[in-house]
A = this chain, B = another copy of it.
């Protein structure tokens, strides 16, 4: 007994028992004072709160989660954190979850499938109330684990494929098609696709195939592709664009997989003496905050990341409360700026 007390003293982390002892009540009265205050006498409650305040008591949720019937962790699995691609989704998601006292446990796969399995397993080991994950294309084992967990699984960003449970996002194939359609409407005919397309970035692949299909449907010559596996940045865009035009001087439009890459494309075109949008049109995807500030300003597709985060939070709460799984489409927008405005000339 004495040893026990010394032990606790040494670790210096107050527990419900410390509070109870100090106030002279039982552990579970203190517990109730916390979770159901109105079941505890006012004066007693006040003394308990005072003791907690004084000892800097912080509940141990590991214990709470183990014992109780609720767990308020939400696992969030993204494929990237670079260049705000998903940062704003996480931002709005976590802030909406906060209102429900749900805590975000974050994992970043960096587009690595092995990592994804490992991270999903790790997240599930915390017995989250739900998991939100980027994309609908996961290794079979990941899908199996997520399904077996029995908790709501919300797939974000992409809805074009087999959904495990609930999804919030849009069909990336249509984005590619919209890029092609816009370029064609502006009179461009020899379209190239350029950018970073990582092996596990199925969304990028879908956008590309949407672009190809739409171009083919319009009777255009085959899309010239020039891609790289590495992450996207302006330097990559500059290099790829330079190489592309060297081998394919006939190109009159470039569809990019991300705004950041296209910034480099614009720089390359300027160096090559190509006029944008007159000689070559450029369209991208992402709506980076700088897209309207480069010269010429960039035509791009704007996904509503904030809304995806918010709706994902709502879907999580709804599913936890027992509503049915569903797929929510979040509209994106074509933002036409100077880089493709040939028609007004």
Contacts and interface: CB of A to CB of B under 8 A. Distances in A.
Given A3-B321, A267-B292, 18 more contacts: A3-B72, A3-B129, A5-B129, A60-B127, A62-B62, A81-B94, A82-B91, A83-B84, A87-B87, A90-B106, A101-B122, A103-B122, A234-B289, A234-B292, A260-B289, A266-B293, A294-B295, A295-B295
A2 B70 contact: yes
A295 B298 CA distance: 13
A149 to B, nearest CB: 7
A180 interface: no
Contacts of A3: 70, 72, 100, 102, 129, 317, 320-321
B125 A61 contact: yes
Copies of this chain present in the complex amount to 2
Contacts of A95: 108, 110
Interface string A98-125: 1011111111101000010001011111
B294 A100 contact: no
A109 to B, nearest CB: 10
Interface stretch (A8-16, A188-196, A249-257): A8-16
A126 interface: yes
B100 A6 contact: no
B105 A107 contact: no
Contact of A72 (B2, B71, B102, B123): B2
Given A87-B81, A320-B3, A126 B62 contact: yes
Nearest to A61: B125
A345 interface: no
